[in-house]
Structure 1
């Protein structure tokens, strides 16, 4: 029997912001660029580049660029689901899938992020479960800081990226 414990993880965060604002922070290029990415390019099926404030849709493809890195460091993937109000699913690094769901509880918006289909890796430096879990933990904290009126915690300097290798 296959051990599936190391093939997925789930993170949760609570946010003092309305669900719609948080959903748009995840599902518009401009929203993602405020807390997550340097540049978020989304393309419709006919390969039209989406506008900064335009919501993404199922079957869109993306190219993402990170702060602190040159343009040769990017992530490509596809939107698997974007229902317009409380669910987003997309392909991610290493053939994984990320699901982001939104709900409300006790006056807060709850975001649950689950990354699945993580491949087994014998080299700990390449372990996607560990590396992605660390990354998503940081970005969920940065989203909270940015959306609740705090600072953007990202490194935006390419000359410092050697600290993060």
Structure 2
């Protein structure tokens, strides 16, 4: 393993699910809103809105919203092979790669966030914040696909808690 730096991080998790189900969880509005987001919209390069169960394609734009956060994340799908690999822009200039690989009777999900700026604000909010966030959301995905439950907070309104994203473990 290489040295850890603030420019990127990798998170991995084994999931008892199918490639098809996990790709659906990441690459469709219907899928990503089951375990991760409160709202998602995908639009083609031509501006046509994708249907709920229609997989994203390279060049699509997205708008994401979470429970308990009033902001939006806007970005672009950079790569989508329809099977086991997806990449998208995220958190400004960063990129996120999702790779799925069959290993025995599991799927190994590898998430890599890279091109992270190394100024002090980015180290705290992107490297630290996103690294912690993805750790939770990948565990939430495991709870969803393996046990049919969600761990994220949807009943208590945390939007008025100034540091909620840094102190609540299930944002």
Please report the RMSD computed on the Cα atoms of aligned residues, expressed in angstroms. Answer: 1.8
List alignment gaps of at least 5 residues for structure 2: 166-171
Task: Report the 3-state secondary structure (helix = DSSP H, G, I; strand = E; otherwise coil) of the residue aligned with 2:89.
Answer: strand
1:152 corresponds to 2:112: no
Residue 80 of structure 1 aligns with which residue? 78
- Equivalent of 1:102 in 80, 100, 103: 100
TM-score between the two structures when normalised by the length of structure 1: 0.91
Residue 68 of structure 1 aligns with which residue? 68
Aligned equivalents of 1:159 and 1:94: distance in 2? 26
Contact between 1:81 and 1:87, CA under 8 Å: does it hold in 2?
yes
Q: Alpha carbons of 1:121 and 1:23: their partners in 2 closer, same or farther (altered >3 Å)?
A: same
Contact between 1:67 and 1:158, CA under 8 Å: does it hold in 2?
no
Aligned equivalents of 1:125 and 1:4: distance in 2? 13
Contact between 2:117 and 2:123, CA under 8 Å: does it hold in 1?
no
Aligned length: 161
1:25 corresponds to 2:25: yes
List alignment gaps of at least 5 residues for structure 1: none
With 152-161 and 11-20 compared, the bigger mean Cα shift is at 152-161
In the TM superposition, residue 158 of structure 1 has moved relative to its aligned partner by 6.3
